[in-house]
Amino acid sequence: MTTETPGGAVSSPDDKSSRWGMTRASLALFAVVLAASFAACSPIYVMKAGLAEMKILRARRDIPEVLNDPTTDPVTKGKLTFVLEARRFAADELGVDVGDSYTMFTQLDRDTLALVVSAAHRDRLVPKTWWFPIVGRVPYKGFFSLEDAENQQADLEAEGFDTYLRPTAAFSTLGWFNDPILSTVLRADEVEVVQTVLHELSHQFLFVPGRVGFNESFATFVGRVAAAQFFCTRDGGGSDTLKCLRAQARWRDYQRFSVFIDEMMDELNPLYADTVLSYDEKVSRREVIFERSLARFDADVAPTFESVTFSGFRNTPLNNATLLTRVRYYHRLPDFSALLDARGGDLRAVMKELKRGASAVDDPFEMLPGG
């Protein structure tokens, strides 16, 4: 479950805060470790992932301890204070069982937590998937070694897949462990730090196994809307404060980008479904759609943005793997917003409604306006 949150943020495939652009990922690394007993992945892969995860967990410190440490810099203290406030907001205002998640902090010795490899068929919008216990099939694979990630990417490209390699700044174990907030997350501004915590905690509220696209789009919706509500209503905040306005602007930009991505998907689907065209013809014609879409992005979409959220979008080559990664987190966001409006802006009620209905439908997106 990779969760991507651009916006002057540390965690987006379209952000320029690292040499690739950082993303946030709910990698559910606990499942990777459990996979050793299921032969779903190689033992070496599982062992490396497990050791890296254990190292992160062993390095945790209670956030109050970090806040009381005189060597902790003021910026870090300020952001960690927001982390604790965001936890309380999720519990008190949204009804999330936050457990012990994000009560601890881990200082990493690097600016990237892990690398995530995604892949997709070049002639259809179908991702390569990997199976893990608990979470089911997921369309990415995480690595703590750049060399291992690049080797996996090369192997997939040799098999004819489109690929996408990106860093991730955070993860969630869906409440199985006491997830720490990581130093990589604190590279973002306060709005993105709060949004990251709320996004990841939303996975503990609702997670549908095998439905990565819904899980991540739901978490994007919750994280963005909740962050805006947090900054616009908290003591010391307000509707006219910079952080409130910034959070609201980023949510509007997310919806604009969602429309753009979904429209591109609508153009590609008939092409890929054409049974007359050959593989090479489909790949050739998709490039025309990609070029036309990028021209539309430059002329019609980018000028409407209110923030630098998606300023890095054009820095990543467009292919089926990069497109599906974005769809995963931005699919039908305006429909989530429409449901919120229909419920009078009551985010908690919307979350409960979606949780109640998720197990009763084949596709959880059917619960949104328009089906």
Give the whole-angstrom CA distance, residue 276 versus residue 250.
42
What φ, ψ does residue 328 adopt, rounded to 5°? Answer: -55, -35
Give the whole-angstrom CA distance, residue 204 versus residue 199.
10
Parallel, antiparallel, or unpaired: how do β-strands 136-138 and 114-121 relate? unpaired
For residue 16, what is the DSSP state?
Answer: -
What φ, ψ does residue 257 adopt, rounded to 5°? Answer: -70, -35
CA distances from 246 to 12, 57, 231, 278 (A): 17, 33, 9, 47
Q: What is the residue range of 34's domain?
A: 2-367
Give the whole-angstrom CA distance, residue 183 versus residue 302.
31
Long-range contacts of 282-286 (CB under 8 A, 24+ apart): 282/123, 282/124, 283/122, 283/123, 286/123, 286/320
Q: Tell me how crowded residue 86 is: count the other CB atoms within 10 A of its CB.
A: 27
The rounded mean pLDDT for the chain is 87
Q: Looking at the 3D structure of the chain, how many domains does it have?
A: 1
**pLDDT at position 57:** 79
CA distances from 79 to 15, 43, 76, 196 (A): 20, 38, 5, 12
Q: Which residue, among 206, 26, 28, has the nearest Cα to 132 in the 3D structure? A: 28
pTM of the model as a whole: 0.86
Give the whole-angstrom CA distance, residue 256 versus residue 201.
25
Helix-strand-coil split of the chain, %, nearest 5: 55, 10, 35
CA distances from 96 to 37, 202, 223, 234, 288 (A): 31, 7, 12, 18, 45
The per-residue pLDDT string of the chain (371 residues; one tens digit each, 9 = 90 and over) reads 333 332 222 234 554 333 333 344 444 444 444 443 333 456 566 667 667 777 777 889 999 999 999 999 999 999 999 999 999 999 999 999 999 999 999 998 877 778 899 999 999 999 999 887 666 778 888 888 889 999 999 999 999 999 999 987 766 666 666 788 999 899 999 999 999 999 999 999 999 988 989 999 999 999 999 999 999 999 888 888 999 999 999 999 999 999 999 999 999 999 999 999 999 999 999 999 999 999 999 999 999 999 999 999 999 999 999 999 999 999 999 999 999 999 999 999 999 999 999 989 999 999 999 88
H or E segment to which residue 76 belongs: helix 74-94
